[in-house]
């Protein structure tokens, strides 16, 4: 028997909540797994993130049911059934599918449940189903990440609304600083609630405070629309502080009149609604943390197109008879440019030295002090030495030089 999919957890989850009481998510998933007959062995199976597979699928089922209003979440991690959920189970007692959820919106052909049921405060974000066979694997990954981010964005707004206004004001300043506003030595400070004058925070763009950004952060219910009057008040506060730029951030959305007014004033006013706020928080890592990273690999074409090491030319370094690199001037030995050897190839480049019977600049020894130089000068055969190399066929030109033979 294959493990139940996340869709198969929806009907049992509603049955667990049928008593009308508030239940914790963990308890709901465990009871739903019992109703589905999930074995102890299947409950030990982990997904790559380290979470149990059955628990992950059960939690996704709760997330989808909450999105369509079939269950309610009075507090974090706690759920209870709604009339919509009871009707949904009554209509589909044998099992609920994602298509059944989309049908509740009146559009069963919507590409995704999150598309059919956008949050009240923002327009729908196009998210396609990750199981679409027409998508390639990378597109499926991107779609899955978009679905996760959409769910996290909803949770962010819920958690923010549960906090005090002071928490939201500080979170907004943290976000703007994470985005780079404030510079390397800038600061962000919250104004006092008793006399903020319509300004909730100030960001100094430099250490001297010559350039400032004024911030107003307002927590509103998700279905509230911020009107023109609120923006007018903020613009007036900017004028009172002789400021020319400000940011108005809210958890809800802006009415069209507010957007039009912000565009018409001379001061630069940026409006950030709940959708953009959560998107920025996820992007800059404020209020969220990375759960897991995936790496997608591909073939390294340079690895297969680059020539093998054996085709690289061997290089020689010019040196005097004593092995010192030659160079001009009396300040000591200086290296000279290497040049390729065309006489042969080696598996790895190795250094050979062209020896001469005369003293090169930078060498303190005289030819008479070196027995090898004396032998070469007298025309006698130099002591035979095997050219040093690290494998491969020796270079004939280099061998001739080491044996004292004249260069061709």
Using N-to-C axis directions, what is the helix angle for 165-178 and 137-162, rounded to 10°?
140
Both 145 and 268 in one domain: the answer is: yes
Alpha-carbon distance of 39 to 36, in angstroms, equals 9
Both 317 and 290 in one domain: the answer is: no
Both 260 and 331 in one domain: the answer is: no
Residue 367, classified by CB atoms within 10 Å of its CB into exposed (0-12), middle (13-18) or buried (19+), is middle
Centroid of chain to Cα 18: 41
Residue 328 lies in a domain: yes
- Rg of the chain over all Cα atoms, to the nearest angstrom: 37
Residue 332 lies in a domain: yes
Residue 356 lies in a domain: yes
User: What pLDDT digit, counting tens, does each position of 348-400 carry?
Assistant: 444 444 444 444 454 444 444 455 555 555 555 545 555 555 555 556 665 55
- Tell me what percent of the chain is helix, strand and coil, each rounded to the nearest 5: 40, 15, 45
Both 131 and 227 in one domain: the answer is: yes
- Interstrand relation of 212-218 and 245-250 (parallel, antiparallel or unpaired): parallel
Domain final residue, candidates 297, 332, 359:
297
User: What pLDDT digit, counting tens, does each position of 49-61 carry?
Assistant: 778 889 989 988 9
Alpha-carbon distance of 191 to 241, in angstroms, equals 13
Both 72 and 140 in one domain: the answer is: no
Both 204 and 240 in one domain: the answer is: yes
Query: Cβ(347)–Cβ(392) under 8 Å?
Result: yes
Both 217 and 189 in one domain: the answer is: yes
DSSP 41: T
Both 281 and 173 in one domain: the answer is: yes
Segments forming the whole domain that contains residue 357: 308-408
Both 186 and 316 in one domain: the answer is: no
Residue 2 lies in a domain: no
Domain final residue, candidates 228, 263, 297:
297
Beta bridge partners of residue 272, listed in sequence order: 249
Both 204 and 241 in one domain: the answer is: yes
Residue 303 lies in a domain: no
As a whole number, mean pLDDT of residues 240-267 equals 92
Q: Can you list the alpha helix ranges (DSSP code H) found in 45-136?
A: 53-67, 83-91, 98-103, 113-116
Among candidate residues 406, 379, 317, the one with its CA nearest the CA of residue 353: 317
User: What pLDDT digit, counting tens, does each position of 1-48 carry?
Assistant: 678 888 999 999 999 999 999 999 999 999 999 999 999 998 998 887
Any idea what the CATH number is for the domain that residue 172 is in? 3.40.1350.10
Both 124 and 100 in one domain: the answer is: no
Alpha-carbon distance of 125 to 154, in angstroms, equals 12
Residue 389 lies in a domain: yes
**In this predicted model, which residue has the larger pLDDT, 193 or 17?**
17
Both 255 and 156 in one domain: the answer is: yes
Any idea what the CATH number is for the domain that residue 67 is in? 1.10.10
With cut-offs at 50, 70 and 90, classify the pLDDT of residue 316. very low
Number of domains present in the structure of the chain: 3
Domain final residue, candidates 248, 266, 297:
297
Query: Cβ(80)–Cβ(22) under 8 Å?
Result: yes
């Amino acid at each position: 028997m294959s493990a139940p999919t996340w869709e198969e957890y929806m009907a049992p989850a509603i049955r667990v909540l049928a008593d009308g009481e508030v239940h914790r998510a963990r308890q709901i998933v465990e009871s739903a797994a019992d109703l589905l007959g999930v074995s102890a062995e299947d409950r030990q199976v982990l997904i790559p993130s380290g979470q149990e597979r059955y628990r992950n699928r059960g939690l996704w089922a709760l997330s989808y049911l909450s999105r369509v209003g079939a269950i309610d979440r009075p507090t974090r991690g706690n759920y209870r059934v709604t009339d919509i959920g009871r009707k949904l189970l009554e209509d589909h007692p044998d099992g609920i599918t994602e298509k059944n959820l989309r049908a509740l919106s009146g559009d069963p052909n919507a590409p995704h449940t999150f598309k059919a049921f956008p949050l009240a405060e923002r327009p729908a974000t196009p998210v396609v189903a990750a199981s679409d066979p027409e998508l390639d694997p990378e597109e499926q990954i991107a779609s899955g990440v978009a679905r996760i981010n959409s769910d996290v964005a909803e949770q962010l707004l819920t958690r923010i609304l549960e906090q005090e206004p002071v928490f939201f004001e500080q979170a907004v300043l943290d976000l703007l600083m994470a985005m780079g506003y404030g510079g390397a030595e800038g600061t962000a400070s919250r104004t006092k609630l008793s006399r903020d004058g319509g300004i909730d925070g100030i960001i100094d763009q430099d250490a001297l405070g010559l350039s400032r950004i004024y911030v107003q952060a307002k927590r509103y219910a998700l279905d509230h629309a911020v009107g023109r009057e609120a923006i007018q008040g903020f613009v007036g506060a900017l004028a009172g502080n002789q400021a020319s730029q400000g940011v108005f951030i809210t958890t809800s959305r802006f009415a069209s009149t507010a957007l039009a007014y912000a565009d018409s004033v001379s001061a630069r006013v940026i409006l950030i609604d709940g959708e953009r706020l959560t998107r920025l928080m996820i992007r800059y890592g404020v209020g969220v943390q990375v759960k897991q990273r995936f790496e997608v690999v591909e073939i390294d074409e340079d690895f297969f197109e680059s020539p093998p090491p054996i085709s690289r030319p061997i290089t020689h370094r010019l040196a005097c008879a004593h092995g010192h690199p030659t160079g001009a001037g009396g300040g000591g030995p200086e290296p000279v440019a290497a040049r390729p050897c065309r006489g042969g190839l080696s598996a790895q480049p190795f250094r050979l030295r062209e020896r001469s019977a005369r003293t090169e600049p930078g060498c303190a020894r005289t030819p008479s002090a070196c027995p090898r130089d004396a032998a070469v000068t007298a025309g006698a055969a130099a002591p035979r030495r095997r050219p040093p190399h690290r494998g491969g066929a020796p270079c004939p030109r280099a061998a001739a030089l080491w044996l004292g033979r004249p260069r061709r």
